[in-house]
Amino acid sequence: MDKPLSGIKVIDMSTFIAVPACARLLAEFGAEVIKIESKGGDLVRFNGVSEGRLGSPYENTTYDLENAHKRDLVINLKAPEGREILFKLLETTDVFLTNWRPQALAKLGLDYESIKDRYPKLVYGAFTGYGETGPDCNLPGYDFTAFWARGGIMGSLMQKGAEPINLVPGMGDHISGYFMASGIMIALYKALKTGKGDKVSTSLLHSSIFIQGIPMQAAQYKDLGQSYPISRKDAENPFNNTYKTKDDRYLQLSMPPFDVFYPKFMPLIGREDLVGNTRYTMDSITKNHLHREFIEILEEAFLKKTAAEWLEIFAANDIPCSLCQVWEEVLEDKQAWAIGAFEEMDYPISGKRAMVRPPVTLEGVEKLPYVRAPFLGEHSEEILRELGYTDEQLEEMHKNGIYNTWDDLRERCGGQIPDLN
């Protein structure tokens, strides 16, 4: 199967979500990706119970989401022999991805400055929580802290007077990881044209700030608009708001050009009497602080019909509106399945599960079928043999703890079940 990135070799020396997701996207389009782990393993391998799913290595939906189509090598990078294995791999590698903290990379001689001259064509991807400079560059960075909290999302978008929203694991990581992928492809294109690699850097904090660029910049105009957090009852644009229906569901409207939609929308909710009322233009609502008053009019109207009834009316009249669905409903959403957002995969423990596919497709490229991610150390000996190590060398390195295989680590990762293949 011909793939756009066939022939591109990637080393993924990372943990958790963002960088593994970046590498998974590259693998999806044909890159050969080798994931480097310590024998302790990427901790996402062991997060099942805390995420409300199975804790077995044989049905690890999160790990498979981020690491399908990769091979796995477990080496001890603290040992010189282990680092030498990585250096050998880098001789034929196009892209090196890591989210290790800068001081840890420098300690092992794996920072960009230490290896860029040795591998001049290498594209080096460095991902951090808070960036590589500044007073907090070495803080541990996770999406809950660096992306959601420090970046301003949680504090700004909570309902005024309420508690912060519940967070979704991996959301900030996935966004940031795909930013990383875009930078990697730009640098890779440059390297293929010029023969010179480059360093690509991004962070959770910067990604968070960028996706909020519109309101972040507007926040400088302190005498205009409202300071967040606000209540949904005071939404700047009442047509970009949520409304409760007769059956206790919420609908999200999205009509940014308020005055354009107003004469069409108001009759649909039974308030044609307000069409032409200059009190409720966007300019008047803003200048006279009528947000709450107008939103109460809409709230009263929405409570007269069920969500399904409103959705039928709005769809027939081309009004942008969606039901605020929960995950169980999205898993059954026919439109989501139609666009290939999900694919079923068989697991040996509980059978078919809906797996989320990467959100990027190419018309002329056949999708890879969904497969499980590699077990910890599953391909160690295979990869080392490809590097030219003999059986005698492998035996000696294995005895000295330079590398590990799945057979070594199977028990601590959850044992085994029969007939996996």
Q: Which two tokens mark 295?
A: 């939103």
Kindly report the length of the chain.
Answer: 421
Q: Which two tokens mark 305?
A: 């019909």
**Cα distance between residue 211 and residue 174, in whole Å:** 13
> Has 94 been annotated as catalytic?
no
Q: Which of 42, 94, 173, 198 is catalytic?
A: 173
- Given a contact cutoff of 8 angstroms between Cβ atoms, the answer to whether 14 and 26 are in contact is no
- Given a contact cutoff of 8 angstroms between Cβ atoms, the answer to whether 344 and 354 are in contact is yes
Q: How many CB atoms lie within 10 A of CB 169?
A: 18
Catalytic site positions: 173
